[in-house]
Amino acid sequence: MAAQCEHMGAGAKGFTELALDFHQRADGIALAAEKQDTQAVLQATAHTLQACTTCHARYRQDVVDAQTWTGRTGTPFAH
């Protein structure tokens, strides 16, 4: 998962760290669900959604062609 987050965040400073934090928070939902703890699931979900809104407020996705992607990130576009 870290490699995918790093790839997606290659052109946006700070994105990778937020993405990894999101995944750690989302793991908390699964752990609470495994324990069948409804209140903990709701709390973990709220905590995860906070990460979503923070990231979406900070970053907007530009749809670009392969050449622009390579220029911005320094890496070839992967399909």
Global pTM value: 0.68
Residue 71 to residue 76: CA distance in whole angstroms: 9
CB-based contact 74:44 (threshold 8 Å): no
Q: What is the pLDDT along the chain (79 residues), one digit of tens a residue?
A: 888 888 888 888 899 999 999 999 999 999 999 999 999 999 999 999 999 999 988 987 778 899 998 998 888 887 7
Domain ranges of the chain: 17-69
Residue 3 to residue 1: CA distance in whole angstroms: 5
The pLDDT of residue 16: 93
The pLDDT of residue 19: 93
